[in-house]
Structure formats: C-alpha cells, structure tokens
Structure 1
Amino acid sequence: MKKNEIKSLTVEQLKEQIAVEKDRLQKLKFAHAISPVENPMRIRTSRKLIAQLLTELTIKEKPGQA
C-alpha cells in the first residue's frame, strides 16, 4: 500500500487492515520457521506496513495532538 492509500482509509478500515496484516505476518513467520520462505523480505515489508497502519490509526484517533 502506498502512503496516500493508507491516509485515505477510515478508522474502521485501518483496524480491519491491521488485523489482516497481523494474520498474514503470523502465517509468514510460521512458514519461515518450518522451512525458509522464498522471499524473506516479505516479513520485513509486512512489519513495516503494520507500523504505518498503526501510526495512521493513532493520528486519526487523536486529531487534537497533531
């Protein structure tokens, strides 16, 4: 996801996307523990995306802080 796509999501969509990405990350970690995944950079990109989503969620939930 691009940054402008993340910024256009609503709070509910952000929460839903975070749950999906956390589930995907957990599956990737399990698959990597059993046998190395084809592209281990996917784990890093998934973690980064979760962090970006959480940051945007925090910004949207606390508009008075920014």
Structure 2
Amino acid sequence: MKIKEVRELETKDLAEKIEAEVAKYNQMKLNHAISPLANPSEIKVTRRNIARMKSELRQRELNK
C-alpha cells in the first residue's frame, strides 16, 4: 500500500485497516514459524505497511 493510498483513507477506516493488517501480520508470523511461507518477504512488506499507516494516523493526531 502506497503512502498516497493511505492518505486518501478516512481516520476511522485507517484505524480499522491497521487492526486488520496487524492481525494478518501476526497470523503470517505464526504460519511461517510452523511451516515456511512460499514468499517470506510478504512479512516484511506487511510490517512496513503497518508502519506507514501508523505514521499517517499519528501525523493526523498531531495536526488536530
């Protein structure tokens, strides 16, 4: 998810998307520990997407 796409989301939708991505990330980590994923770089991509979304959410909080 690009930063442009993150900025287009509403604050409420962004918070929900973060929760969904964190759940997906935790599930991916668990699955990878049990049996290796076909593409383990997806874990890194998901983690970075979460960071982008959290950064944008924090920036919105500071700009209020």
Q: Normalized against structure 1, the TM-score is what?
A: 0.91
Q: Which runs of 4+ in 1 moved over 3 A?
A: none
Higher relative contact order (CA 8 A, sep 6+): 2
The letter for the 2-side match of 1:30 is L
RMSD: 0.9
Q: How many residues align?
A: 64
Q: CA deviation at 1:44?
A: 0.2
Structure 2, gaps ≥5 residues long: none
Measured after TM superposition, the shift of residue 7 of structure 1 is 0.7
Structure 1 stretches of 5 or more lacking a match? none
Scaled by the length of structure 2, what TM-score is found? 0.94
Aligned-residue sequence identity (percent) comes to 36
